[in-house]
Amino acid sequence: MYIVNYRRRVEAVFCAVLIFFIACLARLLYVQFFNADYLASIAKKQHNLYVELEPRRGTIYDSNYKPQAVNLAFESVFAAPNDMTPGQKEAVVRGLPGILRMDASVLRDRLSRKKSFVWLARKVPSEKIGLIKQLNLKGLGFIKESKRCYPNGYLLSHVLGFAGMDNNGLEGIELCYDKYLKGRPGWAVMLRDARRQRLNVYDNSMMPRDGYDIVLTIDEVIQYIAERELEAVFRKYRAKGASIVVMDPRTGAVLAMANRPTYDLNVLDKLDKDVMRNRAVCDMFEPGSVFKIVTAAAALEEKKVSEMTPFFCENGEYKVAGRILHDHRPHGTLPFKEVIELSSNIGTAKVAQLLGADMLYRYVKAFGFGSKTGIDIPGEISGSMKPTRQWSRTTITCVPMGQEVGVTSLQLAAGISVIANGGNLMKPYIIKEIRDKTGDMIKYTSPSVVKRVIDEDTAARMKKILIGVIENGTGTMGKLDHFTAAGKTGTAQKVEPSGQYSHSRFMASFIGFAPAEDPQLAIAVTVDEPKGMYYGGVVAAPVFKNVAADSLKYLRTKDYSGGALALYETR
């Protein structure tokens, strides 16, 4: 009896367990075959998270592989107002404004929105993040983002430009080469746990491609020297603006380009657009006497004159087509080379009359004026040079002395390089190479000759005349102590809104190269509306002298000290 009962009980338990298993199996079958898609989609939503993977923006280096623009990790602060109690919101409004230097009303407004995510502050410095974390405020979250930083602040600001909050280029090279710098974003489907925390377990992914690195032709040290001297002259003469371009005349590589006023790339609040303009390529002005190099070179090349051909300079007053031309100092008869050395407007006008309008126009265009140089930075303008059919009767006397023609500082640097390098117009460039993160070359810029403008003999003769400008002429303040140099001064009257030439607003300029026997640097300096003194030979020539002297000394020591770093050493 006992055995029978025991057996029945066991059978009952067996049946119960069997029924339980059958029920489980039935449920499993139902879940697997009838409800699988629906449940899988819910689970997927809960556990999987689609995340965009941000690529690292490329670094910008100078020619010695010194970084000029890099990315750093910064944390951003966000809040989830929907999940916060009024007390928590009040604690945030009380705690954060002091640290973030934000208005409390702005914070209160953001926290009052019925949203599950609002930014409170983007890309906050780590020391401030530390202070916020110490407050242990509920409802706040932190997200890491990368921010563009510029180790040299204001140095090269107009060329580099800057990237915005979302790491898109907004100005300069950052904008122009954005497609190379920003890379390609990737994506990943990641796991998320019950607390909705992200787990770096990829279900599926495509890794981002980091942006390419850009190496410039700019040399950080020469750039610093140029900016230092430009800043000094800008302050000393309380000028409206100033620009300098330093080029290697043999290749067209731009070694330095600076403008004043300038700005710090790390402080972009409340910036005036006028300050951000790269005046060296975006601003056109009448160049004044520096333009005489074109007429002089053309006259020598066409054998219309020789160095000693005499020109009567009319004792300072010359009437042409109803207009009286003046020299800044009256001269009698001067040989051609002294016409240039002493910068006689009347003498140069007579040289231009010998050449004729068509020939003068041809040489102005051949020197690259009136056309874009094709430099690889944004915003370049072509300047202006009227075709001869639009010339008035006085234009033939105005163009040789740099009136009725518009040029940029970069065009002046390229123009003087023609004489420095023996007659070739080189295409200026600023991007030396573009490399990917493994160091492979993506793009390389090699020097390119646009055209031969004058032959080597003419260039050598012009060089001697321009050495004379510095040794005996108007540019003596540009004379270097231990190197030879050649150059030309310019003082241009600016045009008043009435159309008349101003007697109080001037553009002082100087173009030159050094050392004269083997030119390594071609420099164009322009100072817009200097106060007090305004002659190019007084205001701009000393800038040329200081920049050329220090840069040449630096280049020599650099040659001896082993030159540039390798790219891998900088990473």
Partner 1 sequence: MRLSRFMAVSMSVTLLSLVYVWQQNEILRLAYERQKHYTYFQDLLDANSSLRYNLTRNTSVITMAGRMSEEHGFTMPDNYCLVKVQGYSRRKQTLVSRVFGIRRQAEAKTIDTAVRSLPRD
- Give residues in contact with partner 1 (CB under 8 A): 10, 14, 17, 66-67, 70-73, 126, 144, 149, 151-155, 191, 193, 198-201, 220-221, 224-225, 228, 481-482, 549-550, 553-554, 556-557, 560
Minimum CB–partner distance for residue 144 and partner 1 (Å) = 8
Q: Which two tokens stand for residue 330?
A: 């009256």
Closer to partner 1 at the Cβ: 149 or 357? 149
Q: Which of 69, 540, 499 is nearest to 288 (CA)?
A: 540
Minimum CB–partner distance for residue 481 and partner 1 (Å) = 7
Closer to partner 1 at the Cβ: 42 or 232? 232
Closer to partner 1 at the Cβ: 67 or 316? 67
Closer to partner 1 at the Cβ: 353 or 484? 484
- Please say whether the beta carbons of 558 and 537 come within 8 A: no
Q: Quote the strand ranges of 302-440, DSSP E.
A: 310-312, 317-320, 323-326, 333-335, 384-385, 405-406, 424-426, 431-435
Taking the C-alpha atoms of residue 66 and residue 151, their distance in angstroms, rounded to an integer, is 10
Minimum CB–partner distance for residue 72 and partner 1 (Å) = 6
Closer to partner 1 at the Cβ: 220 or 404? 220
Closer to partner 1 at the Cβ: 98 or 151? 151
User: Is 289 marked active-site?
Assistant: yes
* Residue 474: exposure state from Cβ atoms within 10 A (0-12, 13-18, ≥19): buried
Instruction: Say which residues have a Cβ less than 8 Å from residue 551's Cβ, sequence separation at least 6.
Output: 221, 222, 225, 226, 246, 255, 256, 521
Q: What is the dihedral of CA 428, 429, 430, 434, to 10 degrees?
A: -170
Instruction: Say which residues have a Cβ less than 8 Å from residue 552's Cβ, sequence separation at least 6.
Output: 480, 483, 514, 515, 520, 521
Instruction: Say which residues have a Cβ less than 8 Å from residue 502's Cβ, sequence separation at least 6.
Output: 493, 494, 495, 496
Closer to partner 1 at the Cβ: 163 or 293? 163
Taking the C-alpha atoms of residue 264 and residue 418, their distance in angstroms, rounded to an integer, is 34
- Which DSSP letter does residue 249 get? T
Taking the C-alpha atoms of residue 357 and residue 395, their distance in angstroms, rounded to an integer, is 9
Minimum CB–partner distance for residue 52 and partner 1 (Å) = 17
Beta-ladder partners of 512? 487, 523
Q: Which two tokens stand for residue 20?
A: 């339980």
Minimum CB–partner distance for residue 224 and partner 1 (Å) = 4
Q: Which of 143, 133, 122, 171 is nearest to 54 (CA)?
A: 143
SS3 329: coil
Closer to partner 1 at the Cβ: 337 or 545? 545
Taking the C-alpha atoms of residue 171 and residue 160, their distance in angstroms, rounded to an integer, is 7
Minimum CB–partner distance for residue 74 and partner 1 (Å) = 9
Minimum CB–partner distance for residue 227 and partner 1 (Å) = 8
Determine which one of 289, 344, 509, 551 is catalytic: 289
Give the active site residues: 289
